[in-house]
Amino acid sequence: MRIVVKIGTSSVTERSGQIRDAAIGDLCDQVAAARSEGHEVIVVSSGAVAGGVGALGLEERPADTLTLQALSAVGQSVLMSRYNGHFARHGLVGGQVLLVPHDFIDRSQYLHARATLVRLLELGCVPVINENDAIASDEIRFGDNDRIAALVAHLVRADVLVLLTDTDGLYTADPSRDPSARLVGVVAADDPLLSVRATSSGTQVGSGGMASKLAAARIASWSGVRTVIASASRPGVLDGAIRGSSGTGTQFLPHDRNLSARKLWIAFAAQATGTVVVDVGARDALTSRHSSLLHAGVLEVRGDFAAGDTVEVAGSDGETFARGMTTVDATRAAAAAGRTSESLPEDVPSELIHRDDLVILAAR
């Protein structure tokens, strides 16, 4: 089996910002055990910024982007040295791979990233992936490694995605506030839980939380990949997740819908910068006939977006049912709303969103 395992910042660093060496050592031991069983394993690891905080002896994590990016450059080498030190005990070699969103939305970059990762696996290496925080801009970045892990799982056609965190999995409520909260063992592909807006990060050193893990689980599910969210501190957690053992966190079953990497990005990873409200006829055409969105079916344009940005598509009832990349900016889209293709200026495409750049999230 091919496994992608992601471990979060809160699991690999101390609150002070120092790298938690024992946690990395334990994960490397489990990766080595999985390798001995014949599995291929890719690690997605957070912790570069926190590692930089510790390496430079800072008392707390800074808030400004430029300093955080500089710290990630320092901390990434610290992080990799720890991984390679522990992998060496098992005769393994880690291979650092830093990714940016462009690697998933550009077809040639996507294929190149896949080829590189597959070749690393063929060479017997353990790829260790992180976002390239040192050069990523606020406008073009993932923001958390959960989504990266899910997109990598799609990229390499993984069998299982394992998201290791500081909780046992997905609960019916916040267990720190509700004593009746129970762990959800299995979530079906079409279960509404995959759309739940869970809480954001509960720590000060990480960028993700349960909400980002649910988003990642949905990406993986729609890629046909089984996902497990579980506690990094649980003994033998990786083996249990691979085997699908009961009690090992929360399992998200794969969907029979398999989206392309580009559409997965549009649906779940890209930041929506606006909303387009459409009439009943347009909604029916999009959901039933898989048509492109024409300007004639647009009732209202909200937000300030540029051509190529991702927007949400909502019905007249306010329900968001799709996402897509626009062909024109918000100003031109608003001016063209409700107009037939024949009445549009020559420089305005007839489609506001082409069907190849549109993802239906929910039908009526």
d(C-alpha 76, C-alpha 110), whole Å:
23
Average pLDDT, the chain: 85
pTM, entire model:
0.78
**Cβ atoms of residues 152 and 42 within 8 Å:** yes
Domain boundaries, the chain: 2-263, 271-360
Q: Which CATH class is domain 271-360?
A: mainly beta
- The arithmetic mean of pLDDT across residues 46-66, rounded, is 81
Tens digits of per-residue pLDDT, 9-54? Answer: 888 887 766 788 899 999 999 999 999 999 999 999 988 887 888 7
Strand extents, DSSP E, the chain: 2-7, 40-45, 94-99, 126-131, 160-165, 186-187, 226-231, 250-252, 272-278, 293-294, 298-303, 310-314, 320-325, 351-353, 358-360
**pLDDT-based confidence at residue 203 (cuts at 50, 70, 90):** very low
Longest dimension (CA), the chain: 69
- How many helices, marked H, and strands, marked E, lie in the chain? 12, 15
Q: How is domain 2-263 classified at the CATH fold level?
A: Carbamate kinase (3.40.1160)
